[in-house]
């Protein structure tokens, strides 16, 4: 890292930053504001990072339904040293984001620097992807370097899980993903996309829609125990709390659930709940209505 003046050298606050300040005493450094020339690049980066809030992953508003096996398998893959990039792929509305949040929540404590979630749904310009990543990581000033270089230097000594959600609409930005992986050897990336990213380091994890009971008219008990129907009814009850699953309604609910449970229904005036929900983004929270 050659251009250290671009970092904000504010002294760390008490608590999380205090341990970093103590490690510099042997070098004759009392604070980030004194004797800056004597602090090497790595220590200065640690001092800057110390006063940032810890990274976080949004807490899902609903319980995970029907994806326990997939969550366990994806988490196991991300624990492997040879898996640096795992991409959850599948059609829109199949549950890629929800699964990514579940996996990230399970693994956060297993990474020294936790996990960070970057929402790319509001972005359609590939050039803005690195700005979204920088905003999430708290990289505020790149100085004379490119922003990609600044983010890469920020991540270089970190061991963390970086979640990139909805990459398919900015897939032209995948060279940025490749550069971050190359420059930050202890960072693992979990991406969601309708299509693979086509990077050499990528491991693809296809996600299929939840299975439905067999037969044209399965028993009501089979419908009530089916994960796809359970998920659909769960979301439908957010709109109509009095909704009951009966033999008559079960057939139409089964049909709707078969189309991922996130489509327009002829008797509804609005999309299924779960399509319209507040979603975290690098610009704040946005209402996202899409399937």
Mean pLDDT in runs of 10 for the chain (291 residues)? 40 38 39 44 42 69 90 98 97 94 96 95 96 92 86 94 97 96 97 96 95 79 83 84 74 51 34 39 36 30
Residue 177's SS3 state is helix
pLDDT for the residue numbered 37: 44
Beta bridge partners of 189: 85, 162
Cα(155)–Cα(140) distance, integer angstroms: 14
Domain covering 68-209 assigned CATH 3.90.1150.10 in the classification: no
pLDDT for the residue numbered 215: 74
Phi, psi of 80, deg, nearest 5 = -80, 140
pLDDT for the residue numbered 5: 41
β strands within 99-206, DSSP E = 115-119, 160-165, 187-193, 202-206
Q: DSSP of 202-270, one letter per residue? A: EEEEE-PPPP--SSSS--HHHHHT-HHHHHHHHHHHHH-TT----HHHHHHHHHHHHTTT-S--TT-SS
Query: In Å, how far are 38, 114, 231, 255 from 224, measured between CA atoms?
Result: 67, 38, 10, 14
Rounded to the nearest 10 degrees, the angle between the axes of helix 147-155 and helix 174-183 is 40
pTM as predicted:
0.68
């Amino acid at each position: 890292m050659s251009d250290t003046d671009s970092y904000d050298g504010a002294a760390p606050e008490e608590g999380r930053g205090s341990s970093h300040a103590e490690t510099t005493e042997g070098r004759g450094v009392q604070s980030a504001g004194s004797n800056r020339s004597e602090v090497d690049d790595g220590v200065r980066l640690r001092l800057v990072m110390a006063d940032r809030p810890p990274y976080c992953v949004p807490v899902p508003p609903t319980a995970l339904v029907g994806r326990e096996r997939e969550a366990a398998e994806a988490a196991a893959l991300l624990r492997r040293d040879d898996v640096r990039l795992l991409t959850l792929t599948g059609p829109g509305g199949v549950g890629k984001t929800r699964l990514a949040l579940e996996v990230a929540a399970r693994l956060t404590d297993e990474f020294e620097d936790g996990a960070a979630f970057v929402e790319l749904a509001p972005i359609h310009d590939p050039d803005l992807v690195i700005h979204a990543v920088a905003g999430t990581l708290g990289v505020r000033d790149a100085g004379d370097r490119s922003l990609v270089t600044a983010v890469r230097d920020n991540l270089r000594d970190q061991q963390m899980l970086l979640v990139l959600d909805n990459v398919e609409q900015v897939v032209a930005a995948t060279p940025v993903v490749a550069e971050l992986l190359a420059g930050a050897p202890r960072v693992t990336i979990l991406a969601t996309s309708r299509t693979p990213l086509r990077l050499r380091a990528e491991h693809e994890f296809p996600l299929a829609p939840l299975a439905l009971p067999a037969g044209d008219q399965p028993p009501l008990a089979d419908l009530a125990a089916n994960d796809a129907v359970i998920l659909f009814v769960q979301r439908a009850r957010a709109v109509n709390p009095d909704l009951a699953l009966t033999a008559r309604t079960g057939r139409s609910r089964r049909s709707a659930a078969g189309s991922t449970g996130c489509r327009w229904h002829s008797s509804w005036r609005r999309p299924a709940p779960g399509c319209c929900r507040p979603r975290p983004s690098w610009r704040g929270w946005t209402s996202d209505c899409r399937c």
